[in-house]
Chains A and B, each alone.
Chain A
Amino acid sequence: MLELRNLSKRYGRVLAVDDVTCAVRPGRVTGFLGPNGAGKSTTMRMVLGLDRPSAGQVLVNGARYRDLRDPLRHVGALLEGSQAHGGRSAYQHLRWLARSNRVPTARVHELLGHVGLGDVAHQRVGGYSLGMRQRLGIAAALLGDPPVLLFDEPTNGLDPAGVRWLRETLRSFAAEGRTVLVSSHLISEIELTADHLLVLARGRLLADAPLEEFRGTEALEDAFLRLVSGR
């Protein structure tokens, strides 16, 4: 469970996240929808303590992220873009991450196979395709087998088979009782994956509702665009 309490982030004169309060509950996939620049990525960075909130706080199962012991065992996150250094191999990248949070090295080998990078595990990340980097990012998120998972635009660069694999992975995590928050600007993908929706626009939380309820009798795309445009 992830609790956002009156969370705000101001960059100079821009209020990127404006007093967001909500709970992301376990056992379901929560879709995080919003136009570009709505504040989705900023919110996710604040969950991880990478960006300091201007006001408010985030609690991960009741604790602040920075107070978690071995945080990768509590929260796994895929943030926008690759975070692995191009000069390292996938194996080396996961290896130092594992070491920092006391995750056994055996888990690294297991995950590399699981995300389909087994054959290229010892090649430099700089030579990877966007999809392969994304798979590495997903492996890094799963490393500590965490109960809370955050994915920021995870389908970027994935091929159709990868998109389906990811969707089934996210759904199975939710079925196992984990908390799953996934952002996307692809409404159709969210419609296939999520049970619950959070809609953010210009930093404000406009909706926090089950997918079915939010959609009503409309297409999700219509309901979303109507809400975001304020008409």
Chain B
Amino acid sequence: MIAAELIKLRTLRSTPIALVLAVLVSGGLSALLGSAADDGKMIGEFDPLFVAFYGLTLGQLPLVAFAVLAVGSEYRSGTIRASLAAVPRRARFFGAKVGAALLVLAATALATVAVSVLLAQTTLGTRRAALGDALPAAAGAWLYLTLIGLFALGFATLVRSSTVALGVLLPLLLLGSQGLGNVPGVRVVTQYLPDQLGWVVMHLAGPQGDPRWARDYGPWSGLALLALWAAAALVAGYTSLHRRDA
């Protein structure tokens, strides 16, 4: 069942493009920022892991697009009817879809994070992060990318449209990358948006010792909350799939 879903994912033309873009954009930004920082041109408080992961705020976009298209393309083309005729148990169908997408997301996220961290560390030279700091943060970033992909997949299944799903998720993620979770006043709420919950573990939220930046959750509790978002989106998506006529 998962094998059939993997064939479907592989044979969508958008899939290889999205996955390659995720790695290239993230890694490219890391290398650029790393080179700039090594020249001493970066100002303000310096965190080498910010350099390693900032590229993911853009690199996550193709990954999210992949997850959305994995299900949105079925509704767009009408393939969903062939899929549900082939696998009439909707829980089995959705399980296979999520399982196949999860495999691809986890593998691509791993490659994206590995390339980003390696390029950042290399280009940073002497200002690079200690391995003991980099590894847990990298593990967190890997989980973050995988979970945000699953969140997108669940949301796309709920709205049954790539266009609607991307129309909501891309602005959300782009605003998020501009520091939506740090905006005074609204941050009480915005820090709990799905993408913002990964920022502490990825060293993107600013120094957590400083009350101007400190979030109300830690690196791992943030990821746990994101896992709840992803689970909620998947449950909502499944409920829509289960209840509605195809």
Contacts and interface: CB of A to CB of B under 8 A. Distances in A.
Contacts of B1: 100
B78 A81 contact: yes
B85 A48 contact: yes
B78 A83 contact: yes
- Give the interface size class of chain A: 20 to 34
Interface residues of B, number: 26
B36 interface: no
B4 A65 contact: no
B220 to A, nearest CB: 38
A36 interface: no
Interface string B198-219: 0000000000000000000000
Interface stretch (A49-57, A174-182, A184-192): A49-57
A52 B81 CA distance: 13
Contacts of B77: 82-86
A48 B88 contact: yes
Which of A72, A83, A95, A101 gathers most chain B CB within 10 Å? Answer: A83
B158 to A, nearest CB: 18
B246 interface: yes
B246 A82 contact: no
Contacts of B3: 99
B84 interface: yes
A204 interface: no
Interface stretch (B5-13, B20-28, B174-182, B232-240): B5-13
A49 B7 contact: no
A50 B81 contact: yes
Contacts of A101: 86
Interface of B: 1, 3-5, 7-8, 11-14, 73-74, 77-79, 81-89, 245-246
10 contacts: A45-B81, A45-B246, A48-B84, A48-B88, A51-B245, A88-B12, A95-B7, A99-B7, A100-B83, A100-B86
